[in-house]
């Protein structure tokens, strides 16, 4: 980060994994910037104060946003409208409101309605872990990850640039696109993978002829990777599927067709088709590692000692 900090005071609303990481990252990478934090859950506010997640964590959203140049909404996408309404009367002119929601078209509509006349520049840092809550965040979460900014058509370029500068300061690489395209891209790179992981973990726990204890014991054969994703926050993911319904259903339809093709190949014993499919998927993994988007070590670098 060269140049002055893009904002002197940043308010973080919602202090879970993402909000906590934003607050910690500001402290680490923008040390001159003051942070305030708020969470609608008093227990989360209490815990956030204990671990000093932000410089101040007042009792109301009103106090949290007072004097802030940037407000970052870090609540589940289904709670964005309510969070927007709670701060609406207290957002001063010139303040920018952004968010970290995993779907963007629905969030943009909800925030535009909840915050009439306010500058809203939605964003989505493509980063996270399976953990949640105020203790789960860490400052380096966004480093070398992409943050997708989806400015409304009428956004002032200066406002967009300040939001981009903020995410770049936290270590993210920034890309802009329109909200609808974002939602199609993330439907395939994030939402569909989560839906499938939740499904297979559910399928495995419902079996009668294979016990749950066997599923757990022999999970190192591949299943355990899916359980990590399927341990993600249920509220967050319920809201993602409800808010990005059309794109998720479209990607799911294509996935189901492809799965049916492989199912037919297995049934018919078509080894050549299976081999071809399994060969071309290797190249994608290689590209992801070359782009710095995953750990190159085998097994993600998992510990293999006991």
Phi/psi for 150 (5° steps) reads -120, 80
Of 154 and 206, CB closest to a second copy: 206
> CB of residue 76 vs a second copy: minimum separation in angstroms?
11
The reply to whether 279 sits near a second copy by the rule CB under 8 A is yes
> CB of residue 50 vs a second copy: minimum separation in angstroms?
20
Of 113 and 214, CB closest to a second copy: 214
The reply to whether 262 sits near a second copy by the rule CB under 8 A is yes
Closest CA to 72 of 31, 114, 42, 101: 101
The reply to whether 43 sits near a second copy by the rule CB under 8 A is no
Of 50 and 285, CB closest to a second copy: 285
- The torsion region of residue 94 among left (phi > 0), alpha (psi -120 to 50) and beta comes to left
> CB of residue 40 vs a second copy: minimum separation in angstroms?
18
CA atoms of 116 and 231, how far apart (whole Å) = 36
Of 23-31, 51-59, 82-90, 284-292: span binding a second copy (CB under 8 A): 284-292
Of 92 and 238, CB closest to a second copy: 238
Structure tokens at 117: 């006349």
Of 48-56, 110-118, 161-169, 239-247: span binding a second copy (CB under 8 A): 239-247
Burial of residue 286, with CB atoms counted within 10 A of its CB: 0-12 exposed, 13-18 middle, 19 or more buried: exposed
DSSP code per residue over 217-233 = HTGGGTHHHHHHHTTS-
Closest CA to 248 of 190, 201, 200, 197: 190
Overall size of the chain counted in residues: 306
Of 61-69, 89-97, 153-161, 198-206: span binding a second copy (CB under 8 A): 198-206
Specify the 3-state DSSP secondary structure of 100.
Answer: coil
> CB of residue 166 vs a second copy: minimum separation in angstroms?
18
Of 46-54, 61-69, 161-169, 294-302: span binding a second copy (CB under 8 A): 294-302
Out of 43, 51, 92, 288, the residue judged to bind a second copy by CB under 8 A = 288
CA atoms of 66 and 11, how far apart (whole Å) = 8
Residues 112-131 interacting with a second copy (rule: CB under 8 A): 126-131
Out of 140, 152, 159, 176, the residue judged to bind a second copy by CB under 8 A = 140
Q: How many residues bind a second copy (CB under 8 A)?
A: 114
Asked whether 70 and 95 are in contact (CB, 8 A), the reply is yes
Residues 155-184 interacting with a second copy (rule: CB under 8 A): 171, 175, 184
> CB of residue 197 vs a second copy: minimum separation in angstroms?
7
Burial of residue 161, with CB atoms counted within 10 A of its CB: 0-12 exposed, 13-18 middle, 19 or more buried: middle
The reply to whether 229 sits near a second copy by the rule CB under 8 A is yes
Of 53-61, 82-90, 157-165, 216-224: span binding a second copy (CB under 8 A): 216-224
- Which residue's structure tokens are 């018919």? 268
Structure tokens at 246: 């059309």
């Amino acid at each position: 980060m060269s140049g002055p900090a893009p904002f002197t005071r940043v308010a973080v609303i919602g202090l879970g994994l993402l909000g906590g990481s934003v607050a910690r990252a500001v402290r680490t990478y923008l040390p001159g910037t003051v942070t305030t934090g708020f969470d609608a859950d008093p227990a989360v506010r209490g815990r956030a104060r204990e671990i000093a997640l932000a410089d101040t964590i007042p009792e109301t959203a009103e106090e949290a946003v007072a004097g802030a140049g940037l407000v970052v909404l870090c609540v589940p996408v289904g709670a964005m409208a309510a969070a927007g309404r709670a701060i609406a009367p207290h957002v001063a002119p010139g303040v920018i409101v952004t968010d970290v929601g995993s779907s963007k078209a629905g969030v943009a509509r909800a925030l535009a309605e909840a915050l009439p006349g306010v500058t809203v520049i939605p964003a989505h840092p493509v980063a996270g872990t399976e953990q949640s809550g105020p203790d789960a965040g860490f400052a380096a979460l966004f480093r070398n990850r992409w943050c997708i900014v989806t400015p409304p058509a009428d956004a002032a370029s200066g406002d967009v640039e300040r939001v981009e500068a903020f995410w770049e300061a936290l270590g993210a690489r920034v890309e802009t696109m329109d909200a609808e395209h974002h939602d199609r891209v993330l439907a395939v790179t994030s939402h569909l993978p989560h839906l499938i992981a939740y499904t297979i973990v559910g399928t495995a726990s419902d079996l009668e002829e294979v016990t749950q204890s066997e599923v757990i014991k022999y999970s190192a054969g591949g299943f355990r990777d899916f359980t990590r994703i399927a341990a993600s926050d249920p509220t967050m993911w319920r809201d993602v599927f409800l808010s990005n319904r059309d794109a998720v259903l479209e990607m799911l339809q294509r996935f189901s067709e492809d799965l049916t093709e492989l199912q037919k190949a297995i049934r018919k014993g078509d080894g050549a088709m299976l081999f071809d499919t399994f060969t071309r998927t290797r190249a994608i993994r290689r590209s992801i590692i070359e782009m710095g988007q995953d750990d190159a070590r085998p097994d993600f670098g998992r510990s293999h000692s006991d």
